[in-house]
């Protein structure tokens, strides 16, 4: 297929590469061209704008930063909805507002496009290894058309419902991650204060009922002092804010999420938003959920 891929950051670069490796013709656009240079050297074509990237493609895939970026890419003058060919798949893999995507999807259908929201989970390692979980919302026929592309990038691909359901499912995912990540950081902080060998402790407890992806991946990074972003704190804060807003709109209490959001906002205020989410351990080293 001919694919326009918009957003070649920490995850997008690997995702686009997997599509190329499976023989798809990929044209890329990123606001910072330097972040696309590796893909261009490997055979991707370059577009000068999001709209240009969308023209003449069978599918347009986006994975950008924030809801405002999604809105600009799709609804801005000369954006994806203005330029994509009738009948094309338009697939947003950003984690964004479900209500925003439902609005974009409605406009896309009016233009004869096939919209899918398909946020992902698995971090930079999942993107590199093509093992992402992909949560898809949209029409089943469109999902089936796009499934071969999803299978280039992930191993757990699920149609969750109509437009917006992928984003709602991703919010549930982020709520679960918030509590799990905080639990790992809290256990690490406790182990440190007890004088335990953290690598030994991690190896011991990760094989039992406490085991999780967060423990095996971010826990190991905490042990090593590796705070490089597989997933940025600033993006996790964005996701948690969306989840809180959605929860409040339906009267759903999310007290654990609220606590973890506050902790990450504290780290943001300290200028640590560009660190990976495993840097939450720093917050525990400085205090606790109870005494802040």
Give the helix, strand, coil percentages of the chain, each rounded to 5. Answer: 55, 15, 30
Quick one: what percent of the chain has pLDDT higher than 70?
98
> What's the CATH class of domain 2-163?
alpha beta
Q: Does domain 174-286 have CATH number 1.10.1040.10?
A: yes
State residue 290's pLDDT score: 47
* pLDDT reading at 292 higher than 80: no
Instruction: Show which residues are catalytic.
Output: 170
> For the chain, what are the domain ranges?
2-163, 174-286
Q: Which residues contact 130 (CB under 8 A, 6 or more apart)?
A: 14, 18, 152, 153, 154, 155
User: Band of the pLDDT at 230, cuts 50, 70, 90?
Assistant: confident
pLDDT (tens digit per residue) in 233-256: 999 999 999 999 999 999 999 999
pLDDT (tens digit per residue) in 148-189: 999 999 999 999 999 999 999 999 999 999 999 999 999 999
């Amino acid at each position: 297929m001919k694919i326009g891929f918009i957003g070649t950051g920490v995850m997008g670069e690997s995702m686009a590469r997997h599509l190329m490796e499976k023989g798809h013709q990929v044209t890329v656009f990123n606001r910072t061209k330097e972040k696309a240079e590796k893909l261009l050297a490997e055979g991707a074509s370059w577009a000068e704008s999001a709209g240009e990237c969308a023209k003449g493609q069978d599918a347009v895939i986006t994975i950008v930063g924030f809801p405002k970026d999604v809105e600009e890419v799709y609804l801005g003058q000369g954006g994806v909805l203005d330029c994509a060919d009738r009948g094309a798949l338009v697939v947003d893999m950003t984690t964004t507002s479900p209500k925003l995507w439902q609005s974009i999807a409605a406009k896309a259908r009016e233009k004869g496009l096939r919209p899918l929201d398909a946020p992902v989970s698995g971090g930079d390692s999942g993107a590199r290894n093509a093992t992402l979980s992909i949560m898809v919302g949209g029409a089943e026929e469109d999902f089936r058309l796009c499934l071969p592309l999803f299978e280039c990038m992930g191993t757990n691909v699920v149609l969750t419902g109509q437009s917006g359901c992928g984003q709602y499912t991703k919010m549930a995912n982020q709520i679960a991650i918030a509590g799990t990540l905080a639990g790992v950081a809290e256990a690490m902080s406790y182990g440190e204060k007890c004088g335990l060998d953290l690598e030994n402790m991690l190896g011991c407890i990760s094989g039992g009922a406490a085991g999780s992806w967060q423990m095996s991946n971010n826990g190991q990074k905490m042990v090593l002092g590796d705070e490089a972003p597989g997933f940025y704190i600033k993006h996790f804060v964005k996701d948690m804010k969306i989840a809180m807003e959605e929860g409040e709109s339906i009267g759903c209490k999310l007290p654990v999420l609220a606590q973890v959001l506050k902790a990450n906002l504290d780290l943001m205020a300290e200028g640590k938003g560009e660190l990976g989410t495993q840097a939450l351990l720093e917050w525990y080293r400085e205090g606790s959920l109870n005494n802040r």
